[in-house]
Amino acid sequence: MAPVGEMVLGLPDVRLRPFVDRYVGYRERADVPLVRRESAGVFVVLILGWGAPLDVTDPRNAERGATKVDSFVAGTFDGWCTTRTVGVGEGVELLLAPLTARRLLGLPLSELTNRAVGVGQLPGHWLDRLRDRLAETAGWPDRFALLDRVLAGRLAASPPVDARLDWAWRWLVACGGQGGVGVLAHELGWSRRHLASRFRQDVGLPPKMVARLLRFQQAYAALTDVGATIGPNAVAGTGAGPPTESAAGAGSPGVTRAVDWAAVAARCGYYDQSHLIRDFHQFAGATPAALLAARSMGG
């Protein structure tokens, strides 16, 4: 049985938009256990929820996860994980850039790398208090306004990150992870070792892994637009064109489309298709074709 619920998107105050892209309010009822596979990414997930708790599990190491939490922070991950819940849950989700999370949380992101931590375990307990206030506030507009006030105050009270580190992060994002780490270190006047140390401390992952994840995120985003991933030589239902993986056509059960994953790989800066498939296995736990097929079937 599919979960039943609602999702409401909120746009942060204009002062926060350089730091927070959007708020996602949700209310969801799952009458049977609902398990989701969450892909890796160079972002920090913040869930402030009330109601049914979740389990967050890293299949590589159970100690990295969190059990029976309604509110948690997940640092930058270099592998996929799962969430499991049953019952009625409600809350707000934010996806934060690492350096923004560094300022809001007030701790090095190296302490959260590949970890999900209940907000009650974080210093200051301000997220605990914010969660309680959100639960007591009626209506999504007022909840989003409360988030605006609290997050703006936290950012105003926190020191900015090192301008060189901020520039390095923006450089990698701007080139989609396709720029060389050696080139970046040279531009900064840092050694590669120093650059890696700073990224591990404040982003949670070394720059080479950050670049891989940025490339993966672009490729993963292509799954939301089947048309963008159909190669020019691919013909629906024929398998024409170069050897590719195939996936069920969106909205057309039983119809198979050949997707030119090699073209997607080239566009996202991969050496070849096999490297893209490798990253999907590591970061999403399945091939892109399998994920696209599951998406087209409503999975």
Query: What is the residue-level pLDDT of the chain in tens, covering all 299 positions?
Result: 556 689 999 999 999 999 999 999 999 999 999 999 999 999 999 999 999 999 999 999 989 999 999 999 999 999 999 999 999 999 999 999 999 999 999 999 999 999 999 999 998 999 999 999 999 999 999 999 999 999 999 999 999 999 999 999 999 999 999 999 999 999 999 999 999 999 999 999 999 999 999 999 999 988 766 433 332 222 222 222 323 333 333 344 444 455 688 898 999 999 999 999 999 999 999 998 888 887 766 55
**Inter-residue contact 207 to 181 (CB < 8 Å):** yes
pLDDT of residue 236: 25
The alpha-helical segments, DSSP class H, found in 137-180 are: 140-157, 163-174
**Inter-residue contact 277 to 219 (CB < 8 Å):** no
Burial string for 186-210 (b: 16+ CB within 10 Å, else e) reads eebebeeeebbebbbebbbbbbebb
Q: How many residues does the chain have?
A: 299
pLDDT of residue 260: 81
pLDDT of residue 122: 94
Q: Measured between alpha carbons, how far is 271 from 213 in angstroms, rounded to an integer?
A: 14
pLDDT of residue 298: 59
Residue 25, number of CB atoms within 10 A of its CB:
20
pLDDT of residue 167: 97
At 27, the amino acid letter reads R
Residue 30, number of CB atoms within 10 A of its CB:
19
pLDDT of residue 225: 61
Q: What is the model's pTM?
A: 0.85
pLDDT of residue 247: 37
pLDDT of residue 229: 31
Q: Is 103 helix (H, G, I), strand (E, B) or coil?
A: helix
**Inter-residue contact 161 to 102 (CB < 8 Å):** yes
Q: Most distant CA pair in the chain: distance in Å?
A: 60
Q: Measured between alpha carbons, how far is 103 from 110 in angstroms, rounded to an integer?
A: 13
